[in-house]
Structure 1
Amino acid sequence: MSFATTSDGIRLFYESAGSGTPIIFVHEFGGNHWSWEPQLNFFPRRHRCITFAARGFPPSDIPQSVDAYSQARAADDIIDVLNAAGIDKAHVVGLSMGGFASLHCALRHPERVLSVVAAGAGYGAEKIHEDYFKGVSEQVARNFEERGAKDFAPTYAEGASRVQFQEKDPRGWQLFADRLGHHDSKGAANTMRGVQMRRPSLYDLETEFRALKAPVLVMVGDEDDHCLQPGLFLKRTIQRSALAVFPKSGHTLNLEEPDLFNRLVADFITQVEAGRWTPRDPRANPAQVMRTD
């Protein structure tokens, strides 16, 4: 087993497969390093692939203080894993919580990021729902603490944007729910409070996103309602970005639609490496309906 030691002394488990231009996969709150198996079975054919367990997720360390968890720390942990693996630059692919961390990594460490895939990144970003999201996040944290992960996992796994996965792939969803039940309850609660509840809204970072030079692919399911508008915001704000909307899909995109996810990410990385992922053509003026002269 391989471990990276972060700048604040936390050990993070990571594993590597394949060779080629590096890709690091950053998991969501409801998942862990195992969540990327459909990608780890595909991308190592052409890339060196890294997946890791975030702090608070076994077999990585479980800091007991909530102050050891933050959005900035989650972004910096990506770099610490790359450092441990001897990687200078990588494509960064993240889902949900991992999508937020990937975007923040590009903002904080642009010299280390070749590109970003931000899938399902939007929960809590909508300004109108900020207080609601924080309240629900606190309830989730308490449920992990008081009921334990094994008891609470089936409830969490049947959220409004998870049932699409359950309908399409009951066995895959059950495996997701079972693995969620093995989360460390303290680590999950601290992650929810320290990262999810405290992170800035994407809309508060508009200036930073407009200055971001990294190529970005935003992905969202069309039934992942609280990620749709943030996804459009990112597309309209980041210079070198595109938006992919998955039909009849929820939040767990890389597991729910692995073939489509892999194909889109592979095409994106191919275009980035060919120098073909450019800013939007200035002639494509969003204020124009039809050209008249």
Structure 2
Amino acid sequence: MYVTARDGTKLYVEEAGAGTPILFIHEFGGNYDAWEPQMSYFARRHRCITYAARGYAPSDIPADVERYSQAIAVTDAIDVLNGLGIEKAHIVGLSMGGFATVHFGLEAPERALSLTVAGAGYGCEKSTEEYFRGVSLKVAENFAADPVNFAKIYAEGASRVQFQNKDPRGWAAFAERLARHDPVGAANTMRGVQARRPSFWDLEDRLKMMDVPTLVVVGDEDDHCLQPGIFLKRTIPACGLVVMPKTGHTLNLEEPAAFNALVAEFIAEAEAGAWTRRDPRADPAQVMRTD
């Protein structure tokens, strides 16, 4: 089915199951179908929704780069919920979708039952911020010129080879999905969203005020997400952090059983009201108590 975003863009949506809603937001390198292991698992107990972001077929692919941004990615997620008549949902996002999940919590906390932020952090570190923006623009050029051949290069990035080594068939399906990216949609997503989005460090004051239960998940070989993940843990009041060993960027596909178990437990605790702010007695400045 399709829902219509507030600017008229049509977004392709799939859903399954019944119960408390979960909205899955995909990464740049994926699409709505990259959440299949989660849709199948969580639909046993939840109403699960996944959608193709603007720029990803079969959703609309606007030609104007100004119709792509971090803010628009958030309003699109909200519009998907609105189109389905859903007031609140657990929000789960990977990478680009993880950034959208963080911003969803900042912009519409009243609509989020919880936030799962997986593999998010590229471009956040101040030491590599400008480099990342330049690389994003180069990636945009490459996808615009030849998405099929460039997908072969992109799929073997430093934080993707872990998936290839563990699960060659799963990685091959990921690489094939990547090769189907629309050249206009991929380029505009890189230019309008990835290259322009703010660093988490720029959002520190707002993140400190965000009281939504949050789980951050990163792979220990996804190097440019490690420090941003620790920053989110230290900044968001009700935040937990999981670092998955010997794991790269494509968390939900690379380690689906472990990822599903982590998210299921987190959602259960959030729904029970047990995922709360950090106990003030757990003072990070304290090494050992002496009095």
TM-score, normalising length from structure 2?
A: 0.99
The equivalent of 1:85 in structure 2 is: 84
Q: Read off the aligned partner of 2:133 and give its amino acid letter.
A: K
**Which of 189, 204, 209 is 1:191 aligned to?**
189
The 4+ residue runs of structure 1 with deviation greater than 4 A are none
The equivalent of 1:33 in structure 2 is: 32
The equivalent of 1:157 in structure 2 is: 155
Q: What aligned pairs does 1:1-293 form with structure 2 within 5 A after superposition?
A: 2-146=1-145, 148-293=146-291
Q: Distance in 2 between matches of 1:117 and 1:200?
A: 19
Q: Read off the aligned partner of 2:254 and give its amino acid letter.
A: E
Q: Distance in 2 between matches of 1:185 and 1:151?
A: 12
- Count of matched residue positions in the alignment of Structure 1 and Structure 2: 291
Gaps of 5+ in 2: none
Q: Distance in 1 between matches of 2:14 and 2:252?
A: 18
Cα deviation, 1:247-276, whole Å, max 9, x if unaligned, reads 000000000000000000000000000010
Q: Read off the aligned partner of 1:114 and give its amino acid letter.
A: L
- The DSSP-based 3-state class of the residue aligned with 1:233 is helix
Q: Distance in 2 between matches of 1:111 and 1:275?
A: 15
Cα deviation, 1:100-127, whole Å, max 9, x if unaligned, reads 0011011111111111000001000001
1:39 is displaced (CA, Å) by: 0.2
- The DSSP-based 3-state class of the residue aligned with 1:220 is strand
1:86 is displaced (CA, Å) by: 1.1
Q: Distance in 2 between matches of 1:292 and 1:113?
A: 40
1:150 is displaced (CA, Å) by: 1.1
Q: Distance in 1 between matches of 2:260 and 2:193?
A: 27
- The DSSP-based 3-state class of the residue aligned with 2:144 is helix
Q: Distance in 1 between matches of 2:205 and 2:7?
A: 29
Q: Read off the aligned partner of 1:106 and give its amino acid letter.
A: G
Q: Read off the aligned partner of 1:24 and give its amino acid letter.
A: L
- The DSSP-based 3-state class of the residue aligned with 2:43 is helix
Q: Read off the aligned partner of 2:58 and give its amino acid letter.
A: P
TM-score, normalising length from structure 1?
A: 0.99
Cα deviation, 1:202-236, whole Å, max 9, x if unaligned, reads 10000010000100000000000000000000000
Q: Distance in 1 between matches of 2:121 and 2:168?
A: 25
